[in-house]
Chain A
Amino acid sequence: LAKTTQPISMDSYEGQEVNITCSHNNIATNDYITWYQQFPSQGPRFIIQGYKTKVTNEVASLFIPADRKSSTLSLPRVSLSDTAVYYCLVGARGTASKLTFGTGTRLQVTL
């Protein structure tokens, strides 16, 4: 089971690009990388998922280097409403019970 390591917290100003890096040194061949966002008193919300290289959607981009031992979630031009905890998860498709949330990164966005 791949363990993930993220910074505990990050601060950013509104309008800046934020990059949150997650380390997963023992990622397995079948593992995908998934990021979730959680606001206080709400359930986590799926942001993005990838296997290698780069994935982009309307919310974020996910950069995964060739060795896949880390990944970076990129949030373009954050706003105050992006203040949340961001979780990086590593797990294999087909093994739902093996998705384990790490400690997460608490992002604080200010004016």
Chain B
Amino acid sequence: DAMVIQNPRYQVTQFGKPVTLSCSQTLNHNVMYWYQQKSSQAPKLLFHYYDKDFNNEADTPDNFQSRRPNTSFCFLDIRSPGLGDAAMYLCATSRGLRRDTQYFGPGTRLTVL
């Protein structure tokens, strides 16, 4: 009964080589989020979509982009990964902006060589 699915669970890329991480949800939630979590640190919000409206956090680097082609899917694109972008990337959803309960996927661990 997976609700928030992230693929792949582990991704290895080379320095500077674009990479795309995928998230899908079966909850039909309006809001989808992407977080970055580095080792032993708290998750850090990168951006979120409310339906098709994109909301970028002020300190999210331009290197990070996102697409949401439909309600169920959301992608995180890292245009030119650096060594410092190695982290766990978490996707989450919530029903709307009226409720803060977020449902997280298992995450994708990105390694940059």
Contacts of B78 in A (CB 8 A): none
- Stretch among B14-22, B62-70, B79-87, B93-101 lining the A interface: B93-101
Known A42-B106, A43-B4, A44-B43: A94·B98 in contact at CB below 8 Å: yes
A45 to B101, CA, bound (A): 9
Chain A 41-70 near chain B by CB (<8 Å), digits 1 or 0: 111111001000000000000000000000
Contact of B51 with A by CB under 8 A: no
Contact of A101 among B43, B91, B99, B106 (CB under 8 A): B43
How many residues of A are in contact with the other chain, CB < 8 A?
23
Partner of A41, one of B102, B103, B109: B109
Contact B100 A34 (CB under 8 A): yes
Q: Is A21 an interface residue (CB 8 A)?
A: no
* CB under 8 Å from chain B, chain A span 10-43: 32, 34, 41-43
The interface size of chain B toward A, counting residues with CB under 8 Å, comes to: 28
| A47 CB to nearest chain B CB (Å) | 10
Q: Tell me whether B112 is interfacial, beta carbon within 8 Å.
A: no
A79-111 to B contact mask, C-beta < 8 Å, 1/0: 000000001010101111101111110000000
What's the minimum C-beta distance from B15 to chain A, rounded to whole angstroms? 24
Q: Which of B57, B101, B107 contacts A46 (CB 8 A)?
A: B101
Docked complex Cα distance between A93 and B95 (Å): 12
Q: How far is the CA of A102 from the CA of B99 in the complex (A)?
A: 19
Q: With the chains together, A99 CA to B90 CA distance in Å? A: 14
Contact check: which of B57, B92, B97, B105 meets A94 at CB < 8 Å? B97
CA gap between A45 and B92 in the complex, in Å: 10
Inter-chain contacts of A42 with B (CB < 8 A): 104, 106-107
The chain B residues found within 8 Å of chain A, CB to CB, are: 4, 31, 33, 42-45, 48, 50, 55, 57, 88, 90-92, 94, 97-107, 109
